[in-house]
Amino acid sequence: MELLVASAIGAMTAGGIYLMLRLRTFPVILGIAMLTYAVNVFLFASGRLTVGSAPVLREGVTNYADPLPQALALTAIVISFGMTAVVVMIALGSYLGSNDDHVNDPAEPDAEDRT
Amino acid sequence: MSLFLIVALPFLGALLPGLMNSAGRAACAGVTFTITLIAFVGLLTNLPAVLAGELVTAGVPWLPGLGLNVTFMLDGLGFFFACLILGIGLLIITYARYYLAREDNMGEFFTYLLLFQGAMVGIVMSDNILLLLIFWELTSLSSFLLIGYWKHLPAGRQGARMALAVTGMGGLAMIGGMMILGNIVGSFELSVILQNKELIQASPLYLPALILILLGCFTKSAQFPFHFWLPHAMAAPTPVSAYLHSATMVKAGIFLMARMWSVLSGTPEWFILVTSAGLITMVLGAVIALFKHDLKALLAFSTVSHLGLITMLLGTGTAFGAMAAMFHILNHATFKAALFMAAGIVDHETKTRDIRILGGLRTLMPITFAITTLGALSMAGIPLLNGFLSKEMMLEEANRTALFNAPWLVPALATIGSLFSAAYCFRLIGHTFLGPVRESYPAKPHDPSIGLWGPPALLMIPVIAIGIAPFLAEPFVKLVTASVLGGEAEVPKAYFKIWHGLVPALYMSIVAVVGGLLLMIIYKPLQAGWDAVPRPEAKTIFDALVRAITSAARGFTHGLHNGAFTRYGAIFTLAVVGAGYYAYASGTVLPTTRAMSPIEIVPAAGWAMLVAATIGLMLLHRNRLMSLIMVSIVGLIVSVGFVYFSAPDLAMTQLTVDVVTLVLLLLALNFLPNRTPVESSAVLRLRDGAVAAIGGLAATAMAYHYLMRDAVETPISAFHVANSYKGGGGTNVVNVILVDFRGFDTYGEIIVLGIAALLIYALTETLLNGPVRARLLNRKPDQARAGDMHPMMMVVLTRVMMPVVLMVGFYIFLRGHNEPGGGFIAGLVVSIAVVMQYMASGLAWANARIRYPYHGVIGTGVLVAGLCGIGSWLVAKPFMTTDFTYVRIPPFNEFELATALVFDLGVFLTVVGAVMLSLESFSRLARRAHVPDTDYPMDIDPSRDDPPEPPAPQPNLKEGV
C-alpha cells in the first residue's frame, strides 16, 4: 500500500511539473493544482498510513491515525483554493488585458532600452 | 545629563522641524537650535567628570547574544568631538537660518541636519563597536540626504550619490574590520578592546582588520585615493559643507583612527599605511587646491590636505604626533568652518564663487574680508593665530620621522605641502578681496546681516585667543591626548608656546610662507602650465567604473533572468531534486522500520484510475475542458483516498473545495481560449517530460522512504490525542487541533484566505474600471449559448435543495467538534448551496437578494474569531484559551457548549465570505452589454402572466451563470 501512495504522489508530481512547464497560463494553473494535490497528500502521508481508525475518539480504541498532519493538510487544502483563485484571476487579467496567455515574457528588448 | 539623552535628543528632535515648518522659518530654526543647545548643555554637565579623568558610561543590553549593546562612554576624546559637533552645530544652525532661501524647505533641512548630528554624537560616544557601526552608516545616509538637499541640481544629486557610494563602501569594509577585531578580543565593547593591544597586534588577522578599518576611515575622511568625493560633495548648501565637510563628518575617520590609536598604532604596517596615505593626501590636496577657481572647491581640497596632515600625524605613532593631531583638529575645525561660512557669504551676496570674476571685495565687504583673512592666515600658518602652532608641531614631528629609511622624505614633503597650503591661502585672500574693485559683479556685494557673519566671527575668537595665548588650550588638548594614548604612552611634556627658539620647524615654516608668497608672484604662468598638463579626472573614472559595474551586473542578471518562466521552473525543479539527493547521499539512512501493508484490490483500482487520469491529463491537456475533467478525477480519487486512510475531515474538505475550484476554473475558461496550441518542439517536450519524470521519481522515492520508516522523534500527536477530550472537550481530534491547540495558526490562515478573496475582488474592480471593460462588455462568446440559460428545472431544484443543504451545513458545523465536520467544511458546503442559486438564476437575480456584502462576511468572520481569542483575556488567560461546559436545557439531552465553537463560527463565516466573494467577482466579468439584467429567477415561467420580452435577435447567444 505504501508503494501505491508513494507512486501516486510521484505521478501527480510528474504530471504537475510537466504541465507547469507548458507555455500557456491555463495548463500551468492546472499543473499547480496537480502539484497541490501531490503536496497535500505528501503532507498527509507524513502521519504514516492508517486504515480504519479515524482520529475521532471512541471508547476502548487506543490506536488512532495521526491527527496533526490531517489538521495541517486541511487548512492547506482550503488555502490552496484561495491561491488557485488568485492565480486564475491574475492569468485572466493578463489575458484580457493583452489578448495573450503566454507565460514567458516576450523576447528581451535591447538591454539599454530598459534603463 | 545621561549620555542616552544626549545621543537621543537630536534624533527625537529631528521630528520637530518638519512639524514646525508651517509655523515659519524662525520657529523651525529656533526649535532646532534649542534641541542642540539642550544637548550641548547636557554634554557640558559631564565636563567635571571628564576633567577629573573619569569615564562616564551608560548602557543597557540590546541584543546581548550578538554582542550588540547600547553602551555609551564619554572620555576626553569623545567629549572633545561631541563638543565640536554640538558647538559648531549651534553656529551652523544660526547661519543656515539666514542662508537658506525662502523657497528652500527649511523643516526638511533641519530634520536631516539633526539626524546627522545625532549620528555623529552617537559615533563619538559609542562604547560598543557594533553600535558605532550603526551610527557610522547613519552618518553616510544622512549626509547623502544633506548633500543632495537641492534635489533640482544634477551636481547635488551626483555628488550625493558619489559620497554615499564611496563612504558606504568604506563603511562595509569597516564592518568587516570591526568584526575581526571583536572576534580577536572576544568582545565588542571598545573599553575592553582598548585594553588588549598585545592580543590584537599578535593576531595573524591584525593586518586584514587594520586594512579594512583604515579603508573605512580613509573613505570617510577623504584620504588618497578616496579623496575625490569630497570636492563633489560641495554641491551641498554651504552650511552643510561647513558642518559636514570641515568640522564633523570628515573628521569621523580621523576620530576612529584616534580612538583605535592606542591598540592599532605603533606597528610598521600602521606607520607605512597611515603616514604615507596622509602625506600624499596632504601634498596632493594642497597642490590641487591652489589651482581651483571655485571658492568652495579650493576650500574642499584644502580640507583634504589638512585631513591628510592630521592622518600623517596619527600615522607616526608617537605621543607627540597624536597630540599635534588633536591640537590641529581643534584649530582646523575653527578656522575651516569659518572660512566655509565666509565663502558662503561671498556666494550669497555676489551670486558667484568663481575667484576669477571676484576680487576687490575688501572695501565692499569689510567684515567678510576680516574673517576670511584671519581664517586664511591661520590656515597658512602665520604666527599669533592658532593654525601656526599646530603647524609648527606638525613640522617638528615630520622632522623626526623617517619613512622608507629616508630621513629627508617626510620633512621635505611636509614643507612642500605647507608651502602650497600657504600659497592657496594667500590666493584666497588676494584674488577674492584684494586688487582693484571690479566694475561689475553678478550681484552688488555688501556685507550680510549679523545672522550670517556672526557665527564665523565667533569662531575667530578661539582662532586668535589660542594663537596669542596657546597655554589656554594646553590642558584641554593634553586631556584629549591622554585618552587617545590610553595609557600606552606618556602625554608629552611639551609646552604650547609661540616661540620655541631657532628650531628646524621654524625654518621650515619660514620656507613654506616665503615660498607661498613667491608662488603667488608667479601665479599666472603657473596656472597656465597647470591647465596645459592633462590630468585624470576622478569623476570620469568613477562614473566609468560605476557604469562598467552596473552593465556587468545587468548582463549577468539578464543572462540568468531572461523572462522564460518555464525555464526557471525546470531549473528550479532540477535544483531541488539535486539538493535533496545531496542531502540523502550525505546523510545517514536508517533501516526501514515499518512493514509494507498488503495491497488490496479496491485501492489498487483507485490508484490505476489516478495514474490513468494523470497520464491522460498530460496527453490531452490541449483540450482544456478535457484536462479539467482529468484533474477532477484525480481530485476525486484523492478524496476517496483520504476516506480510506482514516481522514474523513480531509475527504470532506477536499471534495467541497474541488467543487468550488471546478466552478471557478469553468468560469475562467469562459474567457480563455478553449484549446492550447502546439508551440514547443518535440525536443522541448521531451526535455520537459524528462524533468517531470525526474521530479516524479524523486517525489516517489522520498514519500516511499518516509512511509516505510517511523518518525525519528516521538510525534507531538500523542499529546493531541490524549488531551483532545480532557482539555479541548471534543472527540474529533483534527477539529480540536484546528480550533483549539493550533487555533492561532488557523486564525492566520483564515485571514490569508480573506485577503486572497479581497485581492481577487480588487483585481476584478481594476479590470472592470480599466480599458478591458469595453472589450468584456462587447465580447462575442466563442460558443453558442443555451437558449434557456436559467432553466426552470434547475431553478426549482436548487430552491428546494437550498434549505436542505443549509441544514446539512448547520449540522456539519455543530457536530464538528466531536465528529468529522467543522467550520471549514460547513463553510464550503453552504457556499456551494449559494453558488447553485447563482448558477440557476444568474448573477443579477442572486446579487439582488444578498443582504450582507461578502466583504462584510469575511470581516465579521475574522472579527468573531479574533474576539473569541481576545475573550480569554477577560478571565486573565492567554490569547485563545478555550473553555467548555455541559448544559442541559429541557427537553433536550445534555449537550456541550464550547468557546471553540465561536471560533469555528468565525472560520465558517470567513470561508463562506471568501469563497463567495471570489466566485462572485469572476462572474461579474461575464456581464455583457447587450444582455439585459433580468429580475426573474428563470427565463420561461409558466406561472407568469407577463412573460418578458424574448431577446429575439440572438436567441441562442445568451449568458451562462
The reply to whether residue A86 touches residue B756, judged by beta carbons under 8 angstroms, is yes
Chosen from B593, B621, B746 to mutate, greatest number of chain A CBs within 10 A: B621
Chain A hits for B828, Cβ within 8 Å: 78
CB A57 within 8 A of CB B729: no
Closest CB to B565 among A33, A103, A106: A103
Neighbours of B158 (CB within 10 A): 17
Amino acid (one-letter) located at A61: V
Mean pLDDT of chain B: 86
Chain A hits for B604, Cβ within 8 Å: 4
Name the grid cell of B566: 518555464
User: In chain A, which among 80-109 make CB contacts under 8 A with chain B?
Assistant: 80-86, 88-93, 95-97, 101, 103-108
Name the grid cell of B354: 568663481
Q: d(Cα B46, Cα B941) in Å, to the nearest integer?
A: 93
User: In chain B, which among 745-804 make CB contacts under 8 A with chain A?
Assistant: 745-746, 749, 752-753, 756-757, 759-760, 763-764, 766-767, 770-772, 775-776
Give the pLDDT confidence score for residue B841 in this predicted structure.
86
Give the pLDDT confidence score for residue B661 in this predicted structure.
93
Cis peptide before B10 (omega within 30 of 0): no
Chain B hits for A47, Cβ within 8 Å: 715, 717
- Give A59 to chain B, closest Cα distance, Å: 10
pLDDT band at A108 (very low <50, low <70, confident <90, very high): low
- Phi/psi for B887 (5° steps) reads -125, 160
Supply the DSSP string of B698-737, one letter for each residue.
Answer: HHHHHHHHHHTS--SS--THHHHHHHHHHHH--SBHHHHI
| Residue B6 to residues B38, B74, B80, B356, B836, Cα–Cα distance (Å) | 8, 11, 14, 45, 69
Give the pLDDT confidence score for residue B951 in this predicted structure.
52
Closest CB to A73 among B650, B746, B914: B650
Is B614 an 8 Å CB contact of chain A?
yes
pLDDT band at B176 (very low <50, low <70, confident <90, very high): very high
Which residues lie below 8 Å from residue B178, measured CB to CB, with a gap of 6+? B129, B130, B132, B133, B188, B213
Which residues lie below 8 Å from residue B227, measured CB to CB, with a gap of 6+? B281, B284, B285, B304
pLDDT band at B959 (very low <50, low <70, confident <90, very high): very low
Least confident of B283-292, B334-343, B434-443: B434-443
Over range B636-664, report the average pLDDT. 93
Is A21 an 8 Å CB contact of chain B?
yes
The reply to whether residue B720 touches residue A3, judged by beta carbons under 8 angstroms, is no
Chain A hits for B912, Cβ within 8 Å: none
Q: How much is the pTM?
A: 0.68
Neighbours of B885 (CB within 10 A): 9
Question: B740-770: per-residue pLDDT in tens?
Answer: 888 899 999 999 999 999 999 999 988 888 8
Closest to B286 in 3D by CA, of B143, B93, B88, B421: B421
Domain A2-50+66-104, classified CATH 3.30.70.1380, yes or no: no
From the centroid of its chain, how far is CA B103? 30
Structural element, H or E, at residue B51: helix B47-51
Name the grid cell of A11: 505521478
Closest CB to A93 among B676, B757, B767: B767
pLDDT band at B950 (very low <50, low <70, confident <90, very high): low
Is A9 an 8 Å CB contact of chain B?
yes
| Residue B348 to residues B353, B400, B454, B456, B541, Cα–Cα distance (Å) | 9, 45, 15, 15, 32
From the centroid of its chain, how far is CA B138? 11
Give the pLDDT confidence score for residue B949 in this predicted structure.
56
Give the pLDDT confidence score for residue A112 in this predicted structure.
45
The reply to whether residue B708 touches residue A2, judged by beta carbons under 8 angstroms, is yes
**Confidence check: pLDDT of B8 > 50:** yes
Over range A52-67, report the average pLDDT. 84
Question: B107-121: per-residue pLDDT in tens?
Answer: 888 999 999 999 999
The reply to whether residue A67 touches residue B737, judged by beta carbons under 8 angstroms, is yes
Closest CB to A24 among B676, B738, B767: B676
Closest to B99 in 3D by CA, of B451, B375, B334, B372: B451
Mean pLDDT of chain A: 87
Question: B582-616: per-residue pLDDT in tens?
Answer: 999 998 888 888 888 888 899 999 999 999 999 99
Chain B hits for A13, Cβ within 8 Å: 695-696, 698-700
pLDDT band at B444 (very low <50, low <70, confident <90, very high): confident
Is A37 an 8 Å CB contact of chain B?
yes
* Predicted complex ipTM: 0.93
pLDDT band at B494 (very low <50, low <70, confident <90, very high): confident
| C-alpha radius of gyration, chain A, whole number | 20
**Confidence check: pLDDT of A107 > 70:** no
Strand partners of residue B60:
B70
User: In chain A, which among 51-80 make CB contacts under 8 A with chain B?
Assistant: 51-58, 64-68, 70-71, 73-75, 77-80
From the centroid of its chain, how far is CA B789? 56
Is A35 an 8 Å CB contact of chain B?
no
